[in-house]
Structure 1
Amino acid sequence: MPARFLTYEQIAADLAERITRGEYAPGTKLPSTRALAELYSVSTATVERAHIVLRERGLTYGVIGRGVFVAEREEGNS
């Protein structure tokens, strides 16, 4: 079977789905860039691009020296 290469968009979509499903709850630290690169069999640069997509969507935020965390979900105007 030929190797399947994932794009950063596909990785971002998978992580977004995991966040939406609650696998990664608000405030949870995501696995390290290196760990995600190993999980998806991609370079760390590809994972970093996926992190940018998630951050732009408001799903995650980064803390320098600590990692990437799942953002709190907005519940609307209540």
Structure 2
Amino acid sequence: MEMTVQLTIDCSDPQRMVAFWAEALGYVPEPPPGGHATWRAYWAAMGVPEAELPAGAGDVPESIIDPAGRGPRVWFQQVPEPK
């Protein structure tokens, strides 16, 4: 039986976390799904209201993936309070 795991980390600056942890873990920023220029464009196509997306959210990748496909996806979720 296959199991998929994702680690979600609350933070105030996802882009900074992506840059640091991608390098530290040997991961790469996760590209948006095919046919979409950004994650924000993907979320809009999926019907996420603009009012629910913080300024800049999804303009650049906010998650990282293991290029070998062995480790979990890591998503850095932007939250308003400092972490």
TM class, shorter-chain normalised? under 0.3
TM-score computed with the length of structure 2 as normaliser: 0.25
Higher relative contact order (CA 8 A, sep 6+): 2
The structure richer in helix per residue is 1
TM-score computed with the length of structure 1 as normaliser: 0.26
The structure richer in strand per residue is 2
